[in-house]
Amino acid sequence: MSEKNKIRLQKFMADCGVASRRKSEELISAGRVKVNGHVSSLGDKIDPKKDLVTVAGKKINKTEKMYYIMLNKPRGYLTTVSDEFGRKTVMDLVDVNARVYPVGRLDKDSEGLLILTNDGSFANLLTHPRHNFAKVYRVTVRPGITDEALDKLRNGIEIDGRKTAPCDVSIITEEEGRVVLEFILREGRNRQIRKMCEAVDLEVARLKRIAVGPVKLGMLQTGKTRNLTDNEVRKLIRSSSPSEKAES
């Protein structure tokens, strides 16, 4: 079999809408993926036209129609395809005849812009660290914020033994016992904003993502979805290009 026709198994799985490449790698490592009846291993390559790939016993095929969906995630929903304890997930809010999955994540108590797709290459583009997509958040904190705390948030705070990258933090509104901040992050560590705020003695009352790269949440109602426009998809792809960043 010609090597030039082969692609990595996790890429094929992502292209078929099974899961992101990272999640697909986890499925392979767990022994849930077979190629031509044999349990696969990380690093395996396949010929999409000739090899039979199954996940948990189900045959997978490349999806022809690609979906790019924006969800205004409400609080109280998990960003996952399924939950073993039967808790609410973002998939309960998406009505589409395709196996889509979330790109990145918002924790259960956070809300706002979440993108779902069945395009594995697109998902990988959005989540790969080298692309450094700017993500914008509106964060309501209590009780108030000092200039010293603002400087610490902007310059980086040590979380779990590693310092966060410098980020943009600005005050949107400020009143007695309550401040609304705007965070612009270019990295995506687990519960990063909440941990950063906790480190400077701030309580996060509300956290909402309002933009990913050039795509904004806008007026989409909480719990509702819409398809990304072709122009929005193109903008996301273009903004990941090193040449585009060099020109901007």
Catalogue the active-site residues.
107
Helix axis angle, 192-199 relative to 147-155, nearest 10°? 140
**Rounded Cα distance, 122 and 135, in Å:** 17
Opening angle at CA 51, ends 128 and 33, nearest 5: 55
Nearest to 48 by CA among 7, 96, 2: 7
**Rounded Cα distance, 182 and 180, in Å:** 7
Helix axis angle, 120-127 relative to 21-29, nearest 10°? 100
16: phi then psi, degrees, rounded to nearest 5: -85, -5
**Rounded Cα distance, 123 and 128, in Å:** 9
DSSP string over 191-239: THHHHHHHHTT-EEEEEEEEEETTEE-TTPPTT-EEEPPHHHHHHHHHH
Amino acid at 185: L
